[in-house]
């Protein structure tokens, strides 16, 4: 089937985290029409149960695909992807790209063979993470830590608030303070919110760390899956769609506009 040039790419996250995937995708596909969906009514995902996420995410994506008819959907959220990716794929008739912790690249770059996986509480306990660690990091110590506060820090940063440096410091301490943590040289940012606060994490670390995440790789995957398709001749304003509109949405307007999201809608 031919894809219309203005058929959008749909990005989905609980909040602003998916912008860390949208950024590199816009660099790779500058004229792509974009719809960015944030499940603000369900935010945050990282402290929810598997059952709640498994019930919520496929249903919401179904409604979004029906409304916006995207050429491809991106679950720009590690928590939702590690729990619900196969259910979403089964429910939708468009290609779905997920976001899974960048454990493979971390295992490739870690020299000390000790790396951390910093995600949400829900992500770091997933069997999906066990499988990735066993497959790619079998000769490594893979430390894990979940931080809900760091998710809130990323949201606060994009709302333009003054940030508390203790939050990034405490999140890293959750890894450094585990057995073997003194040798950790690499940290997987296994939540899409965390690349948005990479500078704060780097500043809070007592020594240089290598941070890895999946943004660029996912952008390349999207470009690959849409190869040969037609795109609009010019870039036009993208749409941010929220499941609940509240005062924080207004405070995010500047950050959203810097990613080309100039229109706001409610689902």
Q: Least distance in Å: CB of 228 to ligand DGL?
A: 30
Among 8, 24, 44, 174, the residue binding ligand DGL under the rule CB under 6 A is 44
Does 77 participate in catalysis according to the annotation?
A: yes
Does 140 participate in catalysis according to the annotation?
A: no
- Dist CA 77 CA 45 (whole Å): 9
Query: What's phi and psi for 139, nearest 5 deg?
Result: -95, 15
Q: Least distance in Å: CB of 93 to ligand DGL?
A: 25
Choosing from 7, 151, 175, 191, the catalytic residue is 191
Q: Which two tokens stand for residue 119?
A: 């995600």
Residue range at the interface with ligand DGL (CB under 6 A); choices 10-18, 162-170, 175-183, 209-217: 10-18
Contact 37, 239 (CB under 8 A): no
Closest CA to 136 of 167, 168, 113, 164: 113
Q: Which of the residues 160 through 219 are near ligand DGL (CB under 6 A)?
A: 191-193
Q: Is 58 an interacting residue with respect to ligand DGL (CB under 6 A)?
A: no
Closest CA to 73 of 96, 52, 54, 89: 96
Among 8, 17, 105, 195, the residue binding ligand DGL under the rule CB under 6 A is 17
Closer by beta carbon to ligand DGL, 187 or else 191: 191
Q: Is 40 an interacting residue with respect to ligand DGL (CB under 6 A)?
A: no
The alpha-helical segments, DSSP class H, found in the chain are 19-28, 50-68, 78-91, 103-109, 121-124, 127-136, 148-158, 165-176, 198-204, 215-225, 247-251, 253-258
Cβ-Cβ contacts under 8 Å for 252 (sequence gap 6 or more): 16, 158, 159, 240
* Total number of residues that touch ligand DGL (CB under 6 A): 17
- Dist CA 109 CA 168 (whole Å): 23
Among 13, 36, 40, 68, the residue binding ligand DGL under the rule CB under 6 A is 13
Q: Which of the residues 61 through 90 are near ligand DGL (CB under 6 A)?
A: 77-79
Q: Which of the residues 121 through 140 are near ligand DGL (CB under 6 A)?
A: 123
The rounded radius of gyration (Å) of the Cα atoms in the chain is 18
Closer by beta carbon to ligand DGL, 25 or else 79: 79
Instruction: Tell me which residues touch ligand DGL (CB under 6 A).
Output: 13-15, 17, 43-46, 77-79, 120, 123, 151, 191-193
Q: What are the residue numbers of the active site?
A: 77, 191
């Amino acid at each position: 089937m031919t894809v219309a040039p203005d058929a959008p790419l749909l990005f989905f996250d609980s909040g602003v985290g998916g912008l860390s995937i949208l950024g590199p995708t816009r660099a790779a596909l500058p004229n792509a029409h974009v719809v960015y969906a944030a499940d603000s009514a369900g935010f945050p995902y990282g402290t929810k149960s598997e059952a709640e996420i498994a019930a919520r995410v496929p249903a919401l994506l179904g409604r979004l695909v029906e409304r916006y008819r995207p050429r491809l959907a991106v679950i720009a959220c590690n928590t939702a992807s590690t729990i619900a990716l196969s259910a979403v794929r089964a429910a939708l008739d468009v290609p779905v790209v997920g976001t899974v912790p960048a454990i493979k690249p971390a295992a490739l770059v870690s020299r000390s063979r000790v790396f951390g996986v910093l995600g949400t509480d829900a992500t770091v306990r997933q069997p999906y993470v066990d499988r990735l660690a066993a497959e790619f990091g079998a000769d490594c110590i893979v430390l894990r830590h979940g931080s809900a506060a760091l998710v809130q820090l990323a949201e606060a940063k994009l709302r333009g608030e003054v940030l508390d440096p203790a939050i990034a410091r405490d999140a890293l301490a959750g890894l450094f303070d585990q057995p073997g943590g003194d040798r950790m040289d690499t940290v997987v940012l296994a939540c899409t919110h965390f690349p948005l606060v990479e500078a704060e994490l780097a500043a809070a670390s007592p020594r240089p760390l290598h941070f890895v995440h999946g943004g660029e790789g996912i952008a390349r995957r999207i470009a690959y899956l849409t190869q040969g398709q037609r795109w609009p001749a010019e870039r036009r304003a993208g749409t941010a769609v929220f499941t609940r509109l509240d005062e924080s949405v207004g405070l995010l307007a500047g950050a959203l506009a810097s990613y080309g999201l100039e229109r706001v809608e409610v689902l």
